Amino acid sequence: MDRIDRLNDVVSAVGDYFGVSAADMRSNRRTAHVHRPRCIAVYLADRMSGATRAEIGAAFRRDQTIVAMYCRAIERHAAEDNALRDLLLELKAALAR
C-alpha cells in the first residue's frame, strides 16, 4: 500500500468515526464539526502514513506548517485529555488492521 492510499485510509477512518465526509475534511471550513476531525486525521496521517508533511498538507489543502501545528496541538491535547488519547489509540488500532 502506498502513502497516498494510506492517507486516504486515514481520512476515511476518521471521517467515518466523526460522520464527516472526506470532501469536508479537505475543505476550508473551520467549524468545530470539521476542524477537530481534520486535526486528528492530519495527526494520524503524520504518524501512520509514511507521507511527508508536505504530502499530507497537499492532501488536506494545507501547507506543511499547518500540518506541524495540527500535530503539536493534538499531542498537547492528548497529553491532558484521556478521552482523546483513547480515541487516538482506537483509531490507530482500526487503521493497523
The predicted-structure confidence for 5-64, as pLDDT tens digits, reads as follows 889 999 999 999 999 999 999 998 889 899 999 999 999 999 999 899 999 999 999 999
Q: How far is residue 3 from each of residues 28, 77, 84, measured CA to CA in Å? A: 23, 26, 25
**Parent domain of 48:** 3-96
Q: And the C-alpha cell for 5? A: 492510499
- Per the structure, the count of domains in the chain is 1
Contact 45, 51 (CB under 8 A): yes
Contact 34, 27 (CB under 8 A): yes
What was the pLDDT predicted at 1? 61
What was the pLDDT predicted at 3? 77
What was the pLDDT predicted at 66? 96
Which CATH number does the domain housing residue 18 bear?
1.10.1750.10
